Structure 1
Amino acid sequence: MSTPDLNLLLTLDVLLGEGSVARAALRLNLSPSAMSRALSRLRQATGDPLLVRAGRGLVPTPRALELRQQVGPLVEQAQAALRPAEQIDLRQLVRTFTLRSRDGFVENFGPALVNRLRAEAPGVRVHFVPKLDRDSKPLREASVDLETAVIDADTSPELRTRALFRDRFIGVVRSDHPLSRGPVSLDHYLAGQHILVSHQGHDHSRMDDTLQALGRQRQIVTLVSGFSAALALARGSDLIALVPERHTSNLREGLHSFRLPVPLPELTISLLWHPRMEADPAHRWLRQCVHELCSDTTDTLPGGHHR
């Protein structure tokens, strides 16, 4: 059985609406002969004459009247499907999104995002899940809608990205730590004991590579998988944590933060999503919300002063 030509649906809808080959041809920018050929094909496809002559005009058959009730809504739905998505009614939107990120992101930006969603789209929920690796499979498989990351050579080129904010690493110690009493020199920094944050279990970081290039080394006494754990250890011990400043702003309350004696390159935290979600209006709105909430570039350690 041959596949029907769905283009004929539009032709049939116009023919039945106009009741005239000439008027239907004019409306579809076709010649009368081309429209007559289209009518012949429709008669063959449906097994019905559809329009028959009555005097000088054409009248629909019972089958044509039946089809007119069916074809009109079909054509309208098809045309709507092929138009760009219209602006959504956020108050009526009911949807759940999943956002994957490193620890610290939810603690720092989550409350503001949740409050904004509740105010603008009360039917929208967001699920925050931890980012344990850099695999983009969750985005490809749609188990995750958005995630945050630092773009590098390992980032899948198929993903869409948008920069959220720039961040930098800082040192953090408990409020009454010896390093909280003044500017931190490299010697003072290296005299302490350090916490290494390693998401992949590596025993060195960018700081260790930088120090090695200077012929120096820090003493790492413990390794953790996230920034929250590093700050918890720093809060209750003499250990020194190394964390991104903006990413951990709320987590560092009550702790002393300081500029590193050996500055590290800044990071750009970006938002990632799969291209199939690019034009989805609800997804696009959520991306804009996250960007606006994260794009504040306030320097929390201005002028070299310590927090």
Structure 2
Amino acid sequence: MNLLTGLDALLEHRSVQDAAAHLHLTPPAVSRILGRLRSVTGDPLLVRDGREMVPTERALAMRDEVRELVARAHAVLEPQAVVELASLRRTFVVRCHDALLTSLAPKLLAEFGAKAPLASLRLVSENPTVDRHTGLREIDLDVGSPPQESPAVITRVIGADEMVLVVRRGSTLDVPKPSLTAVAAATHIAVSRRGRALGPVDDQLAAHGLTRTVQATVATVAAALAVVAATDSVTILPARLRDPLPSTVRIRPLPFTLPSSEASVSWHRRHDNDDAHRWLRTLVERTLADSLR
């Protein structure tokens, strides 16, 4: 690149001193560039004629191509132009927890479509067989609980949500304050994409000398709500992430405290300076924050 830039300046100014001024280099440095160019091409390129330097036939033949190559290289290296959303043609891939997706999608798609009508979104669910950190290389954004910390991943925690008990309307646990023993005695539906039945709920119960029965694990919040709506089983979910809530179920407080469920937006650092990506993640962050209020 330095040789091409130097050759372009020398052919333009036909003077080592003037080319040096143009390139913000010293004349000896430009003389060394000319020497390397002559060695590489096997041609003198510029020959002295009195006080001037005259290009050879080889130099004249390559002049336009050299100028074009230098211009193209500069264009590639220049800062990215401000993205024009109205004409943006790009498909963004956003991986999202299914419960978050239910509350996010309507508002997100409405504004996305209004601002970037030629772009599209692929909203995909988490894959339990793919490491979330590794998977971030293949997608634009991850929306859900914060992934494992990594120098290659940027994560912004947008908010947190308390955990609540979801019961069928009219069931024995459909009371203002279900007791600890009643919650432990109920059959539970656990939500886990990886099929994990045990977790913080069991730790809290164990602290009181109690255990629970996990009747089934399901991959989505929607599935858990469907089971609870039709049976006496219960499930424990983040308070704001259970919409739309079936009319046959109710939200009740837990008789113990669980850690809040954090909601975050994460992306691979390779996207950090991408203006179109910056617009998307700002939109997703704002929409997620609104849904957690």
TM superposition score normalised by structure 2? 0.88
Instruction: Please name the residue that 2:262 is paired with.
Output: 268
Distance 2:272 2:179 in 1: 47
The Cα shift of 1:102 comes to 2.4
Structure 1 residues 68 and 253, CA, compared in 2 at 3 Å: closer, same or farther? farther
The within-5 A match list for 1:41-120 is 41-120=36-115
**1:25 aligned to 20, 26, 29, which one?**
20
Instruction: Please name the residue that 2:211 is paired with.
Output: 217
The within-5 A match list for 1:1-307 is 6-133=1-128, 135=131, 136-140=133-137, 142=138, 144-151=139-146, 154-248=148-242, 250-254=243-247, 255-296=249-290, 298-299=292-293
The Cα shift of 1:119 comes to 1.0
Distance 2:195 2:26 in 1: 72
Q: Deviations over 1:39-83 (max 9, x none)?
A: 222222223332233443233333323322112232222223333
Structure 1 residues 177 and 84, CA, compared in 2 at 3 Å: closer, same or farther? farther
CA RMSD of aligned residues (A): 2.4
Distance 1:185 1:243 in 2: 18
Kept in 2: contact 1:161–1:270 (CA 8 A): yes
Name the amino acid aligned to 1:184.
Answer: P
Structure 1 residues 81 and 178, CA, compared in 2 at 3 Å: closer, same or farther? same
The Cα shift of 1:266 comes to 0.8
Distance 1:19 1:266 in 2: 71
The Cα shift of 1:203 comes to 2.9
Residue ranges of structure 2 left out of the alignment (5+ in a row): none
Residue ranges of structure 1 left out of the alignment (5+ in a row): 1-5, 300-307
Structure 1 residues 192 and 94, CA, compared in 2 at 3 Å: closer, same or farther? same
TM superposition score normalised by structure 1? 0.84
Structure 1 residues 253 and 17, CA, compared in 2 at 3 Å: closer, same or farther? farther
Kept in 2: contact 1:231–1:251 (CA 8 A): no
User: How many pairs align?
Assistant: 290
Name the amino acid aligned to 1:75.
Answer: V
Distance 2:193 2:36 in 1: 65
Kept in 2: contact 1:198–1:205 (CA 8 A): no
Distance 1:280 1:192 in 2: 50
Instruction: Please name the residue that 1:302 is paired with.
Output: none
Q: Deviations over 1:10-36 (max 9, x none)?
A: 111111222221111122232323322
Name the amino acid aligned to 2:250.
Answer: H
The Cα shift of 1:298 comes to 4.9
Aligned sequence identity (%) = 38
Distance 1:168 1:73 in 2: 60
